[in-house]
Each structure stands twice: as structure tokens, then as C-alpha cells.
């Protein structure tokens, strides 16, 4: 039903009609009419952030842990430009967001008015689509289209720039069912001939690998369940990108671990040596492929992706299938079962024998210490003490992020929130708040490095104000750990500006924010410190002082193929090739 209302009221009404429960934002002059409407209603909760970048990361955490689009409201000029990093992060990791920005009145656009910026121009490269809403009568339809575009096809962030006079003006409101969205209806069903060809390839494969990505999780819970059914029914090994962790359970019998630059030895060698690579919702990121010319050189490659532009963009594949992973997996299982559920069992048994040999390398082993907390040990203990809880994990970016991916196990999708494609330091703290707002009774832990954590530390104020009991687990090595590691291994140990100095006392910082914190530096005290963090009913910062120069292994050096990995001292140090030869 059409109704007359102001543009500001349309915004709030559209959010309600789209089922939005939470908005993350920061007010300013160009969005005050919308904030006035928010004040006059009680259906939508507003979370006041401390920085607009934090708002977008909170919305990302909310979206990734719920499957719903995250919503952000910020003002014009610096409010909008501060959101750009979060928008780019969401675009790279396919996170559905609707970002609403204020703008100067339409008659002032282009005059360099106070807090004016070309928001549409600035954000065009880092959004899936954006709009400048100049007509109040078309505003409601634009809002509904934005939600449709953000959540259909490959998910991503969209932005609507709303001039202040459009917010004040009166126009005709249209509901979601009246909005025209027929122009954007991405293909979700895969080509049945291609799916049948893939079923035939599954039947013949001798050394197959299921290579899974964030697209499986974005497709919804059914897709993860279908992936598990396919893997268990065929007996094929499953590996995953950083973004795909949890789509297949870490305790599953076919799980061979994460692959890529800091992936497991067995996963990377399986990828290198397979004869059938089935890519499900991943984009052949450079952190996965290594040297493209030597990536999985002897395999037939199938790629299932809802985004046609992702297929053959990086790696040429033999069998492209455009469609939603969930729909394609459903049809693939039907076709494969109808053909007799056949696999090459004898060859598959030999393949698993080879994989089990690679596992004996024990690539995550490390030299323990009874004096210094090793970061790997810290995450092992965190996993042991929290794995049976209703747990969500976010991370910052760096060594700690990779160790978290290696040592924490995820049994279900939507439990792991990290910045993959953009690698955004400062992501984890605000993301953890977004997750906690969505799941107020769950345990939410942000695994952080001290340098990343400081980038958006102001959001602890948001956590305290809104009583979000997020746990900040800081692995403090007083270094920019990943930068220092690369400088040691690849830049002749020239440590150019990679040591953190003038660090705060994180426990006192927690107190200053009005929450609680503690410091731990001894392995024997670590369990008690973690339990104190978990038992505290509120936001908590645990400063874990760890070994300063520990390196994160395995590691594929930049530009090297999968079968050349650096391993740590406790396994086999040096660059490893298939067959176990050590490169000197």
C-alpha cells in the first residue's frame, strides 16, 4: 500500500519492512532527520559506534554470524569516507551490507559544501552497487532494491547516498513487494549437463580434492549440509580457504585442513598432486594458488560459483558451472546417486594412504616452552577450554589470525569471522561486537595481535555501553608479527619499523574503558587466566605475552608453488618438496 511520508520516515519504514532489527551508526548533520525518526520508534535497535569504520565491521560481524544483511547509517563527507575500508573489506569477502550515508542537499551538490564528498564516486569501486537518491518518490524503491542486490547472487555491500533535502521532503512510500527487482535475478540453478559431466568426473577420479570456500557458507546452512553429505558419500578429502572454515566440520573424517600460504602440508600437497579439483564457492585467491603456472598442474578443474566473473578469472578451469553452490550440490548429489553412487574406490584408498603419509609430517608441531607462552600453545589452550561452548570467533589480521585458523576447530558455518581478501587490521574488535549483538547469550572471542587491536580499540567503549561481553584475546609479541616474519625470511633480517613501541598496559586500558582486563606471561598461569576471562560477565581484555620471534608455519613463500613450503623446527625445517626432499 502506498503512503505519503518524509524521506527520513521512508528510510526507517523500509528498514522495518525488510526485517532489520539492528543498525550500526554514527550521527551527523546530514543524517539528523533519519536519526530523529529512529528516536521516535522502538522496533529497530541502534548501536552507537565510536568510528564509522567500526560501524561497517560490526555490521559485517552481524551479517556473517546471522546470514542477514548488516545495516550501517553514517553522515556525509568524513562519515562516508571513514566507511570505505569496511566497504572494501565486505566486497572482497562477499558480505551483504546496506550502508546509508547522508549527503548535502541536492542543490548544493558540487559546490564543495560543508562535509560534502562525492560518496557515490568514491564508493563505486568498493560496492556491489550504489545510488544517489535525488527523488523522494523513488527513495523507498531504491531502498528495497538495495537489500535485494546486497543479498542476491554473490552477496556484497551496497550504498545509498541520501541528500538532506530528500530526507525532509514528502513522497510516496512503496513496500518491498511493489519494488521492481526483476532486472537483477542472478542464475542460481547450474547447467544440468555440466553437473552430469561433474558426476562422471567424480566416478573416474583417482586423486580428487573438494576445494571449498566462503561461497558454501554464503549459500546458507543447507549448502554446508549438502557438502558434508557429498564428502561423506564419496569419501573425497575436503580442504578449505580461510573464509570457508566451518562449512565442513573440523572433526569430520574427510577433513585435511586449510590450504594456502599458511595452510597444512597435507592440504597443499593434496591440492598440488590431485587429478580432480572441485572448487565449490572459492575464487582462486593468490594466497591459495601460489605461483599460478604451477598450481595443481595435473588436475582437471571444475569450478562452481554464483558469480560468472569469478570463473576463469585467475585459473582456467575445464568445467565451469555457474550457479548457487547449494542448488548445484543438491542436483549433483541427485545425478550422482541416480548413476549408481560410483567412485574409483581402489584408487581413492591409495590416495588416502598418500595423504595419511603427508599428515605424519605433523606440520603444526612446534617447540614448547615452560617459561614463555608460545602463541600456538595459547590457541591450543583457548580451543581446549572453549570448544564445547556456544562459541563464535573473530580475528584481527596477522600471525595470530593464521594460528587461529590452524589451531581452532569449527564444526559449523557462520562461527568464524575474519578479514580474508582485504586483510584489514582493526577488523576483529568491532566485528566481535557485531556478532555479540546478534548472539547476546553466546561466547564471542576476538583473537588479536596487539598492533591490529590498537587500530580500532575505541570500540571497547561501544562494547561497554551496550553491555556486549566480548572477550579480547590479545597475543602480544610487541611486534608487527607477520611483517617481522617476512622481513626475517625474505628481506635479510632487516626489521624496518616492525617493532611495536610505547604500547599501553592493556589491563589498565580495560579499566579505563570501564571493563576488566588482565595480563598473563607464564604457561602455568594461562589456563586460569583464560577461565577468568570466560567467567567474567562483561567485556574483557586478556593480554597474553607470547614469544616475540615465533614464526607462523607452514608457509609458502610468495611466488612459490604448493609443493615448496617452509616448515618449522619441530617438523622438518626448510623448503619441502613432494617426496620429502629438503631444499638447501
Q: What is the pLDDT of residues 98-138, one digit of tens each?
A: 999 999 999 999 999 999 999 999 999 999 999 999 999 99
The answer, yes or no, to whether residue 578 has pLDDT greater than 60, is no
Catalytic residue among 271, 457, 460, 482: 482
The answer, yes or no, to whether residue 582 has pLDDT greater than 80, is no
Question: 36 preceded by cis ω (within 30°)?
Answer: no
Catalytic residue among 10, 18, 24, 52: 52
The conformation of residue 69, written as its DSSP 8-state character, comes to P
In this prediction, residue 273 carries a pLDDT of 96
Confidence band, pLDDT 50/70/90 cuts, at residue 571? low
Confidence band, pLDDT 50/70/90 cuts, at residue 489? very high
In this prediction, residue 1 carries a pLDDT of 57
Catalytic residue among 68, 108, 115, 577: 115
The answer, yes or no, to whether residue 251 has pLDDT greater than 60, is yes
Three-class SS state of 373: strand
Confidence band, pLDDT 50/70/90 cuts, at residue 581? very low
Asked if residue 78 lies in contact with residue 115, where contact means CB atoms within 8 angstroms, the answer is yes
209: β partners: 277
4 part of the active site: no
- Read out DSSP for 14-61? HHHHTT--EEEEE--GGGHHHHHHHHT-SSSEEEE-SSHHHHHHHHHH
C-alpha cell read off for 192: 544440468
Can you give the length of the chain in residues?
A: 584
Three-class SS state of 258: strand
In this prediction, residue 570 carries a pLDDT of 66
Other beta carbons less than 10 A from residue 371's beta carbon: 9
The answer, yes or no, to whether residue 352 has pLDDT greater than 80, is yes
3: β partners: 173
The answer, yes or no, to whether residue 562 has pLDDT greater than 90, is no
pLDDT digits (tens, 9 = 90+) for 180-221: 999 999 999 999 999 999 999 999 999 999 999 999 999 999
pLDDT digits (tens, 9 = 90+) for 270-297: 999 999 999 999 999 988 898 899 999 9
Sign of CA dihedral 278, 284, 285, 286: positive
∠ CA 134-138-139, rounded to 5°: 75
52 part of the active site: yes
Confidence band, pLDDT 50/70/90 cuts, at residue 387? very high
pLDDT digits (tens, 9 = 90+) for 33-47: 999 999 999 999 999
Three-class SS state of 519: strand
116 part of the active site: no
In this prediction, residue 348 carries a pLDDT of 98
Asked if residue 60 lies in contact with residue 90, where contact means CB atoms within 8 angstroms, the answer is yes
Rg (C-alpha) for the chain, rounded Å, is 25
In this prediction, residue 49 carries a pLDDT of 98
Distance CA 420, CA 402 (A): 11
In this prediction, residue 559 carries a pLDDT of 81
Q: Which of 301-310, 335-344, 566-575 has the lowest mean pLDDT?
A: 566-575
The domains of the chain, with CATH numbers, are 3-173 (3.40.50.970), 192-359 (3.40.50.1220), 375-545 (3.40.50.970)
Q: Which residues contact 472 (CB under 8 A, 6 or more apart)?
A: 429, 432, 446, 448, 453, 460, 539, 540, 541, 542
Bridge pairing between strands 516-520 and 540-545: parallel
Catalytic residue among 164, 300, 301, 361: 164
Q: What value does the mean pLDDT take over residues 360-365?
A: 96
What average pLDDT does the chain have? 95
164 part of the active site: yes
Q: What value does the mean pLDDT take over residues 148-155?
A: 98
The answer, yes or no, to whether residue 269 has pLDDT greater than 80, is yes
Q: Which residues contact 89 (CB under 8 A, 6 or more apart)?
A: 56, 57, 60, 95, 419, 421, 422, 424, 427
In this prediction, residue 572 carries a pLDDT of 54
Q: What string of H, E and C letters represents the secondary structure of 151-191?
A: HCCCCCEEEEEEEHHHHHCEEEECCHHHCCCCCCCCCCCCC
Largest CA distance in the chain: 75
Distance CA 344, CA 366 (A): 37
pLDDT digits (tens, 9 = 90+) for 490-506: 999 999 999 988 999 99
Alpha carbon 172 to chain centroid distance? 38
Q: What value does the mean pLDDT take over residues 92-96?
A: 98
Q: What proportion of the chain, given as a percentage, has pLDDT over 90? A: 93
Using a 10 angstrom Cβ sphere, with 0-12 exposed, 13-18 middle and 19 or more buried, the burial of residue 46 is middle
3-state helix, strand, coil in the chain (%, to 5): 40, 20, 40
Catalytic residue among 114, 229, 313, 350: 114
Distance CA 129, CA 127 (A): 5
pLDDT digits (tens, 9 = 90+) for 427-485: 999 999 999 999 999 999 999 999 999 999 999 999 999 999 999 999 999 999 999 99
Amino acid at each position: 500500500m502506498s503512503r505519503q511520508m518524509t524521506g527520513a520516515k521512508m528510510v526507517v519504514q523500509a528498514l522495518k519492512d525488510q526485517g532489520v532489527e539492528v543498525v550500526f551508526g554514527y550521527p551527523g548533520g546530514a543524517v539528523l532527520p533519519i536519526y530523529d525518526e529512529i528516536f521516535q520508534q522502538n522496533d529497530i535497535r541502534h548501536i552507537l559506534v565510536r568510528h564509522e569504520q567500526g560501524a561497517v565491521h560490526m555490521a559485517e560481524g552481524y551479517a556473517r554470524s546471522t546470514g542477514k544483511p548488516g545495516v550501517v547509517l553514517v553522515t556525509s563527507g568524513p562519515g562516508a569516507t571513514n566507511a570505505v575500508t569496511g566497504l572494501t573489506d565486505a566486497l572482497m569477502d562477499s558480505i551483504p551490507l546496506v550502508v546509508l550515508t547522508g549527503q548535502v542537499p541536492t542543490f548544493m551538490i558540487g559546490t564543495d559544501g560543508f562535509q560534502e564528498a562525492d560518496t557515490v564516486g568514491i564508493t563505486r569501486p568498493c560496492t556491489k552497487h550504489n545510488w544517489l537518491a535525488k527523488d523522494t518518490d523513488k527513495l523507498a524503491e531504491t531502498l528495497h532494491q538495495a537489500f535485494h542486490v546486497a543479498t542476491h547472487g554473490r552477496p556484497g555491500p551496497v550504498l545509498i547516498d541520501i541528500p538532506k533535502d530528500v530526507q525532509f521532503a514528502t513522497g510516496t512510500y512503496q513496500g518491498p513487494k511493489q519494488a521492481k527487482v526483476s532486472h537483477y535475478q542472478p542464475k542460481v540453478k547450474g547447467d544440468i549437463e555440466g553437473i552430469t559431466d561433474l558426476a562422471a568426473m567424480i566416478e573416474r577420479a583417482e586423486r580428487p580434492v573438494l576445494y571449498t570456500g566462503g561461497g558454501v557458507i554464503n549459500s546458507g546452512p543447507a549448502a554446508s549440509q549438502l557438502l558434508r553429505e557429498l564428502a561423506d558419500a564419496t569419501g573425497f578429502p575436503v580442504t578449505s580457504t580461510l573464509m570457508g572454515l566451518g562449512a565442513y566440520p573440523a572433526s569430520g573424517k574427510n577433513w585435511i585442513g586449510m590450504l594456502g600460504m599458511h595452510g597444512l602440508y597435507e592440504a597443499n600437497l593434496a591440492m598440488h598432486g590431485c587429478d580432480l579439483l572441485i572448487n565449490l564457492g572459492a575464487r582462486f585467491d593468490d594466497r591459495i594458488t601460489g605461483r599460478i603456472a604451477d598450481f595443481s598442474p595435473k588436475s582437471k578443474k571444475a569450478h562452481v560459483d554464483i558469480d560468472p566473473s569469478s570463473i576463469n578469472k585467475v585459473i582456467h578451469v575445464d568445467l565451469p558451472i555457474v550457479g548457487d553452490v547449494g542448488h548445484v550440490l543438491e542436483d549433483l548429489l541427485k545425478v550422482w546417486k541416480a548413476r549408481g553412487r560410483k567412485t574409483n574406490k581402489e584408487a581413492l584408498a591409495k590416495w588416502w594412504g598418500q595423504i595419511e603419509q603427508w599428515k605424519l609430517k605433523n606440520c603444526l608441531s612446534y617447540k614448547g616452552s615452560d617459561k614463555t607462552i608460545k602463541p600456538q600453545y595459547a590457541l591450543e589452550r583457548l580451543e581446549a577450554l572453549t570448544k564445547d561452548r556456544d562459541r563464535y570467533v573473530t580475528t584481527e589480521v596477522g600471525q595470530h589470525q593464521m594460528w587461529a585458523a590452524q589451531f581452532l576447530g569449527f564444526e559449523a558455518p557462520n562461527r568464524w569471522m575474519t578479514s580474508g581478501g582485504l586483510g584489514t587490521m582493526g577488523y576483529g574488535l568491532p566485528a566481535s561486537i557485531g556478532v555479540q549483538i546478534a548472539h547476546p547469550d553466546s561466547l564471542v572471542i576476538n583473537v588479536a595481535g596487539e598492533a591490529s587491536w590498537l587500530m580500532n580499540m575505541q570500540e571497547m567503549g561501544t562494547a561497554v555501553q551496550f553491555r556486549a561481553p566480548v572477550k579480547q584475546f590479545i597475543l602480544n609479541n610487541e611486534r608487527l608479527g607477520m611483517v617481522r616474519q617476512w622481513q626475517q625470511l625474505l628481506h635479510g633480517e632487516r626489521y624496518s619499523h616492525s617493532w611495536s613501541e610505547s604500547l599501553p598496559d592493556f589491563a589498565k586500558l580495560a579499566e579505563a574503558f570501564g571493563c576488566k582486563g588482565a595480563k598473563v606471561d607464564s604457561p602455568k598461569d594461562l589456563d586460569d587466566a583464560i577461565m577468568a576471562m570466560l567467567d567474567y560477565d562483561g567485556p574483557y581484555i586478556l593480554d597474553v605475552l607470547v614469544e616475540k620471534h615465533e614464526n607462523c608455519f607452514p608457509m609458502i613463500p610468495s611466488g612459490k608453488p604448493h609443493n615448496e613450503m617452509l616448515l618449522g623446527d619441530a617438523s622438518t625445517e626448510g623448503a619441502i618438496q613432494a617426496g620429502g626432499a629438503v631444499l638447501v
